[in-house]
Copies of this chain bind each other. A is one copy, B any other.
Amino acid sequence: MELIVYLAGQIHDDWRNQLKEKADGMQLPVTFVGPMENHERSDNIGEEILGQQPNSILKDEAASKFNNLRTRILLRKSDVVIALFGEKYRQWNSAMDAATAIALNKPLILIRPASLHHALKEISEKAQVTVETPDQALAALSYIFEE
């Protein structure tokens, strides 16, 4: 039995790759999916497919459609969602992906620093588990497969 894990959350550092490598090392039967992590590509995808748009607002709208196409399909395919929140950004997309996971009845593993406890308390309460580091999230994933 394999699980598909969607990695929601910030795309500003390398946390996904580190998580994937560790999961490989643990030989977990897991496939990871997630949003486009190349920030520039993510912002430009609308114009790259549809051609130049009249202004930056329409450029953004075009990009968001293709990003949401990707997210919708991959999120529905997944069995569990891991969402990482950091301190630097507003990360409304992360909140939206986390809430979508919850509403689709897919269990959410929330990763956030202790400092964000108050701001994220309602999301945390809806998550299946809340941890502080990607390693803890990985330990939770691993626990599902233990015999």
**Residues of A with Cβ closer than 8 Å to B?**
1, 3-4, 31, 33, 36-37, 41, 45, 48-50, 54, 56-57, 60-61, 63-74, 76-77, 79-80, 90-93, 95-100, 102-105, 107, 109, 117-126, 128-129, 131-132, 136, 139-140, 143-144, 146-147
Majority DSSP secondary structure for residues of A touching B: helix
Chain B residue numbers with a CB within 8 Å of A74 are 144
- Known contacts A49-B140, A92-B95; 8 additional CB pairs below 8 A are A49-B139, A68-B122, A68-B125, A69-B129, A69-B143, A73-B144, A93-B123, A96-B123
- Are A72 and B128 in contact, with the CB atoms below 8 A? yes
